Amino acid sequence: MFFSIPNIAALMNRYYIEYRQLIGAFFFGDVLERVMFFIAFGMGLGRAVAQIDGVDYITFLAPGIAAGSGVFIMAVATTYGVSNRYEGSAIWQSWLATPVRLQDILLSELIFNMLRATPSLVILYIVAYFFDAVPSVSGAILSLPVLMFANLVYGSITLNMGVYLGRMLYFRYIQALWVMPMYLFSGVFFDIKEAPEWMQVFANIFPLYHVLEVVRPLVLGRPVDLAQALISFTVLSVIFVVAFCLAYNQFKKRLFD
């Protein structure tokens, strides 16, 4: 499977035009919601929980919210967004009548939404900084490429679910069975090492857990276990490649009969 850079560039330009038109909706959806989560839990629950994993609760929470924000953005984009484009307006079909190919379309969808989600990460870190919740600014900056890659991984997984999103209400399944469990059981809000053992084992199936294993130490200014980081990166890369190929094959069956 080869990708065409000119095709992907042309598609990215088209997404950018859409983004410019809807920048307000994207901004409120992507940024504000996450910032509210951060402030509400950080300031609210943070009063009750004095310290967690050796830091203030709000400081513990900041990398968690950052790492988890892409889960929602990518899930919505690769299911609702994708379904709209290939079933609703059927513009994918019009693109496929040009030299643009399916793999170019799928990768562009992922890259565009990953890029679109990135400013929200930066804004979240800036807000957290003003709450004195970013112990290592350089660590937070270093975590950005990790989180951008993580967002591609989340997107490649939910892209497989987007194939079957025949009815918009089916998104509830994706939310209930994938997005929320991953968000709640990967250690965004609490230290997974303190959780019951079954939950610690359960957390392993979620990419977000593996991402947090790298991102949280980075932002907290702690040494990152390089061996662990390498394992996490390898696992996530394999997930990305497998999920992308599966999604490609499913869409191919669906679109090309």
* Residue span binding other proteins (CB under 8 A) among the ranges 11-19, 62-70, 213-221, 224-232: 11-19
Q: Does 254 help bind other proteins (rule: CB under 8 A)?
A: no
The owner of tokens 């000119």 is 6
**Rounded to whole angstroms, how far apart are CA atoms 74 and 220?**
25
CA distance 11 to 4: 11
Q: Pick the closer one to other proteins by CB: 102 or 128.
A: 102
Q: Pattern of binders to other proteins over 38-77, x per CB under 8 A?
A: ----------------------------------------
CB 117 within 8 A of CB 15: no
Q: Does 90 bind other proteins (CB under 8 A)?
A: yes
Applying CB under 8 A, does 89 fall inside the site for other proteins?
yes
Residue 141 makes contact with other proteins by CB under 8 A: no
> Closest approach of Cβ 7 to other proteins, in Å?
7
Q: Does 11 bind other proteins (CB under 8 A)?
A: yes
Rounded distance between C-alpha atoms, residue 61 and residue 42, angstroms: 7
Alpha-carbon dihedral angle through residues 184, 161, 238, 108, given to the nearest 10 degrees = -110
Q: Please say whether the beta carbons of 135 and 218 come within 8 A.
A: no
Please report, as residue ranges, which positions from 166 to 195 form the binding site for other proteins (by CB under 8 A): none
| Nearest approach, Cβ of residue 45 and other proteins (Å) | 40
Cα distance between the two ends of the chain: 19
- Rounded distance, CA 38 to CA 10, Å? 36
Q: Is 256 near other proteins (CB under 8 A)?
A: yes
Binding of other proteins by 3 (CB under 8 A): no
Q: Count of residues binding other proteins (CB under 8 A)?
A: 24
Tell me phi and psi for residue 155, to 5 degrees. Answer: -65, -40
- Cβ-based nearer residue to other proteins, 22 or 177: 22
Q: What is the CA radius of gyration of the chain?
A: 19
Which residues lie near other proteins (CB under 8 A)? Answer: 6-7, 10-11, 13-14, 17-18, 21-22, 89-91, 93-100, 255-257
